[in-house]
Structure formats: C-alpha cells, structure tokens
Amino acid sequence: MDSASAAASAPAPRTDALTLEVVELIGTVVARYHDEYEEAAAQHSLTGAQARVLGLLTLEPMPMRRIAQKLKCEPSNVTGIVDRLEVRGLVERRPDPADRRVKLAAPTAQGRETARRLRDSLDFAREPLAQLSTEERTVLRDLLRRMLGEAG
C-alpha cells in the first residue's frame, strides 16, 4: 500500500489506542531521559549542549564544522560552545595539518575525566532498565532496532 492511498482511505496507524499509548510512553521516556541528561550535566556545571559536545569529542576529535553537523545546528553556534568549554580547560583547538582552514576540537585530559564522570552519573541505564530481565532487555533491543530501521 502506498502512502497516498493509506492517507486517503485507511485509518492512520496513529489513531488506534495501542499506537497512541506507545507514543505517549515514548514521550515519557524522552522527557525523563532529557531531564536526567540536563541534570547530570548541571552537576558538572555544564549545559546540555556543552555536555553533548564534550561527549562527542571524547569519542573522536573533529572539526568545528562536523560538530555543527552532529548537533544539527549552525557552525557559528559551535564557536561559542567550544569557547566556553575551552575557557574551562575541558577542550582545546588544534590546527589540522592537512588543511590550515580547519580547527580540530579535542578534549583535554581534564575534559576526558569530566566526560567519564558525566557518563557514570547518568542513572538512566541503571534505574529503569534494571527492572527488566536480560531476556526482556533483548526483546526491547530488537524492537527498538526494528523501529529505528536497523540503521540506527
């Protein structure tokens, strides 16, 4: 069934009670996850955006432009976020040997340590998931994978 005929004739999936409830539950998960993330960041005197950039750079140093792509924001915003992380000694800008226009942002030792403690303080993994058995977590993983289309 193509999307046009589905929209025209069939009842949309979102209108059934089961789908609506799942969407609402996902909304609750999203809200809780977001709140916990902001709270964990605040405990280290970081904003959510600063924590996200620091976590990103801990995986791999990258050009300012690429950070903006990851954050889905304009490159001009990244300048300020990295500025504030740099002032606090958590991140540094390095020249890119291959292209002198590019600046590579990389975490300092202190930045990596802060990122590590930040990850540890995210209780989201423990609290709600601890209530599920290994088998149930496997089922949940597979359902989420399929929901997200395997690609992630």
80: partner contacted, choices DNA, its own copies, none (Cβ within 5-8 A by kind): DNA
The whole-angstrom separation of Cα 84 and Cα 52 is: 13
The whole-angstrom separation of Cα 71 and Cα 60 is: 15
Looking at beta carbons only, is 77 or 110 nearer to its own copies? 77
DSSP annotation of 61 reads -
The region of 8-16, 18-26, 42-50, 113-121 touching DNA under the rule CB under 7 A is: 42-50
Q: Give least dist CB 103 to DNA, A.
A: 4
The whole-angstrom separation of Cα 88 and Cα 148 is: 37
Residues near its own copies, by CB under 8 A: 12-14, 18-23, 25-30, 32-35, 72, 124-126, 128-132, 134, 136-141, 143-149, 152
Q: Confirm if 123 and 86 have CB atoms less than 8 A apart.
A: no
| 84 scored as a contact of DNA (CB under 7 A) | yes
